[in-house]
Structure 1
Amino acid sequence: MKLGKKKKGLLSEGYLWILLALLIYGASLGARKNPELLERVYPAEWNRALIRLLSRITGPFPFSLGEAFVYFHVFLGAVLLVLFLVRLFKGGAWTLLSRTIAYLSILYIVFMMVFGLNYQRPSVRAHLSLEKTLYEKEVLETMNQALIERANSLRERVPQDEEGVFTLSMEEGILYEKALETYEAFSWEHPVYAGTYGPAKGILLSEYMNYTGITGIFFPFTGEANVNTKGPDLLFPATVLHEMAHQRGVAYEDEANYMAYVTSLYSEEEEIRYSGTMLALISSMNALYRVDKEAYRTLYDTYSEGVKRDLSAYSAFYKPYEGKVQEQATKVNDNYLKSNGQVSGVRSYGEMVNLLLEQFVQKGRIDL
């Protein structure tokens, strides 16, 4: 008896995944206008539990699984491109293309469920009792004065190298442990950020990341907070705390920067507190420079010599790495942020100043 050839259904080539990805994309657009509905359907608590699970699974590995994930997919992309060109002449190109799109749809779905939908959730203000408010330039100046005093004071108590530039005294692994302890201390007062997560991890090809200007990256597919270990020490602890904020469901860059600062205040290590304070000071002074250059110069003169040396060394470090690669990486990052609703793109890296001002005025101090 001759068997008939089995017919392929509409979903046989992965169209179901493509359709589901489109539905999730549409739902994410709707959630921007109605975040309360998202919270009812997919609570942030569930999302953080999912990231914690991924993080605890991948945490014990001594290397970044996320980095390996990226390299594998770069190789896979090259192989698929060659296969597609071959099948254009031999047949089967459409099948390969549809299956590739289906696979990319699966990756998109996983990304959205693990991290992407967090772009539609309420601000960290909701958890830290801050009210969105705009303040005058004079308030910004006063806050900068407070940050400068804090930075100058901390700078006197942190280690420096033979050239008088701030340098970390602790090894990389110890820093990651101290960062976990910092978040643990912070979560005692803000339990929404509590929980056991895997430690931050260094990127193997960190040296090459310097050409992109990227200092850290959170890998949603593995729940790992990854950092560039070949940059200056000045903002390295703050970068670790920043990526760990993403790990805890904080999506926006400006809010992750703010979280890096406020969590650093809970650290027992002055080196971590200094790094977080310098991140806040750089952002806040840049904001002042844009509105009043004269006021900026006046306040800059009040920096201690140690702080000035640290900033000069930080700027000098990245000079050799500037170029086309960094420009293109910035454009890619800018488009990624805008595609997720962060309409100001990379400019939002300076928007942490609004949160700092709200904290400064509404809580009456520069710390929590």
Structure 2
Amino acid sequence: MKNKPQILLAVLLPFQIIVINLLRGNELFVESWYSRGVYPLLSKIMRWSLGILPFSFGDLVYAIFVILIIRWLIKRIRTRFRKPKTWITEALATLSIIYFCFHLFWGFNYYRLPLHESLDIDNEYSTEELVLLTEKLIEQSNKIHLEITEDDSAKVDIPYSKAEIFDITVEGYDHIERDFPELSYTGRSLKRSIFSLPLTYMGFNGYLNPFTGESQVNTTIVPFKIPTTASHEIGHQLGFAKENEANFIACLVTINHPDKYFRYSGFTFALRYCLGELFRRDQKKCEEMIKLLHPGILKNYQEVEDFWLEHQNPLEPFFQTFYNHFLIVNNQEEGLRSYSYVVALLVNYYDNVENAF
């Protein structure tokens, strides 16, 4: 039978879906077998092999795939979708391959142990603890802001090129590896996305290509945001698939970074999470605490806000909704809105670290 392999692949798709749903409740198995077993080896192979390329191979693959989809659709339209058994089998077979590769090369990490368990950090906190941490972050943000600018009303400008920011990002992982061996990063594969402008209009700072293991950064964003974005994407690359976990890792790496500009980016990034959660719990207290921030820090926040406002478009909510649904389907119940868990990790991390500040 001519299309027997395609039929077999199409039939395997529902079986794959069943297996994935069974693994959702077996976090220890996924953690030991995949996230600490198969994945680190696969990830290093991809990083070492594709990291040497000066361009994003994954972006190129995506571009070719989109062209092939368009070509396939044109062909179907021209034939008026005749022979449905044939083209439906083709489509299901292709989806089956993509589904398999996605989970093999990265996607199983969505079902691993929560980060607070693997790093042995508690995930609960009180409003009083949140307020205390927010006060400390404001104090540290103001302190490092003044150290850099010597003017509490001046915003911070990152003095590095984008290539230099990437190099310094990797240094942050080298620095923290001693305390967190899980964050050991070798075989750099951190790249500018070819699709930075489209990503901007879609509302994304960056992404990890799950098929090539490349961390992609949208380099059109405000430079002030690139240190935490790049650190976030490396967190994904190391197997921490959930957005809130990668955000905490970005805080962890940048706040402990030897470079003062990265520490400023990290402290203010963590502070925005705490202020966001405090606003949800106690709006009046949040507004009081914002008044304690240096005007220059607020200018940096406004700079980021203005950038995204300038690039708003009618399609952005669609992309955000689509990605939010994707996260929910992949074991992230809160989707893009995951302030509380990031804050919980921050509160308990600093509660456990002596002289954190």
TM-score if structure 2 supplies the norm length? 0.93
Q: How do 1:102-117 residues align onto structure 2 when only pairs under 5 Å count?
A: 102-117=93-108
**1:366 Cα deviation after fit:** 5.1
Secondary structure at the aligned position of 1:164 is classed as: coil
Q: Which amino acid aligns with 2:93?
A: A
* Contact 1:159–1:168 under 8 Å retained in 2: no
Q: Is residue 2:242 matched to residue 1:249? A: no
Q: Which consecutive segments of 4 or more residues in structure 1 shift more than 6 A? A: none
For 1:343, give the aligned amino acid: E
How far apart in 1 are the matches of 2:356 and 2:271? 11
* Distance change >3 Å, CA 183–CA 18, structure 1 → 2: farther
Which residue is equivalent to 1:35? 27
Q: 2:293 aligns with which of 289, 303, 324?
A: 303
Specify whether residues 53 and 283 from structure 1 end up closer, same or farther in structure 2 by C-alpha distance, changes over 3 A only: same
Larger radius of gyration: 1
Which segment drifts farther, 284-293 or 164-173? 164-173
**Unpaired segments ≥5 residues, structure 1:** 1-6
Alignment counterpart, residue 97 of structure 1, candidates 88, 91, 94: 88
Task: Indicate if the aligned counterparts of 2:50 and 2:189 stay in contact, CA closer than 8 A.
Answer: no
| Aligned residue in 1 for 2:65 | 73
Counterpart-to-counterpart distance in 2, 1:258 and 1:54? 24
**What is residue 344 of structure 1 aligned with on the other side?**
334
* Secondary structure of the corresponding residue to residue 338 of structure 2: helix
Q: 2:257: which partner in 1?
A: 267
The letter of the residue matching 2:144 is L
Contact 1:218–1:247 under 8 Å retained in 2 = yes
Aligned to 1:122: 113
C-alpha distance in 1 between matches for 2:229 and 2:183: 17
248-257 or 49-58: bigger deviation: 49-58
1:217·1:243 contact (CA, 8 Å) conserved in 2? Answer: yes
1:219-265 deviation per Cα after TM superposition (whole angstroms, max 9, x unaligned): 01111000111111222100000000000000110010000010113
Q: Please name the residue that 1:132 is paired with.
A: 123
Give how far 1:176 is off: 1.1
Alpha carbons of 1:349 and 1:67: their partners in 2 closer, same or farther (altered >3 Å)? farther
Match of 2:41 in 1: 49
Give the deviation of 1:364 after TM superposition: 5.6
Deviates most, 340-349 or 240-249: 340-349
Q: CA deviation at 1:309?
A: 1.4
Q: 1:349 to 1:105 in 2, by over 3 A?
A: farther
Letter in 2 for 1:316: D
**Matched residue type, 1:73:** F
Partner Cα distance (1:53, 1:160) in 2: 45
Is 1:359–1:365's contact at 8 Å kept on the other side of the alignment? no
Q: 1:43 to 1:359 in 2, by over 3 A?
A: closer
| Number of positions where the alignment pairs a residue of Structure 1 with one of Structure 2 | 356
Report the CA distance shift for 1:73/1:350 in structure 2 as closer, same or farther (over 3 A): farther
Q: Output the aligned Cα RMSD.
A: 2.2
Aligned residue identity for 2:121: L
Determine the structure 1 residue equivalent to 2:205. 215
**Aligned pair in 2 of structure 1 residues 20, 93: CA closer, same or farther (>3 Å)?**
closer
What's the CA shift for 1:65?
1.2
Query: Percent sequence identity over matched residues?
Result: 25
Q: Which residue is 2:154 aligned to?
A: 164
The structure 2 residue matched to 1:174, chosen from 144, 153, 164, is: 164
The 2-side partners of 1:17 and 1:365 are apart by 56
Separation (CA, whole Å) in 1 of partners of 2:289 and 2:33: 48
TM-score (norm 1): 0.90
Alpha-carbon contact 1:217-1:226 (below 8 Å) kept? yes
Deviations, residues 279-334 of structure 1 (Å, cap 9, x unaligned): 11111101101111110111001101211111122212221222322111110110
Structure 2 equivalent of residue 279 of structure 1: 269
Report the CA distance between 1:175 and its aligned residue: 1.3
Q: Equivalents in 1 of 2:257, 2:16: separation in Å? A: 39
Give the unaligned 5+ runs of structure 2: none
CA distance in 2, matches of 1:18, 1:186: 45
Instruction: For residue 346 of structure 2, give the secondary structure of its aligned residue in structure 1.
Output: helix
Residue 257 of structure 1 contacts residue 349 of structure 1 at CA under 8 Å; is this kept in 2?
no
Q: Partner of 2:187: helix, strand, or coil?
A: coil
| Conserved 8 A contact 2:30-2:109 | no
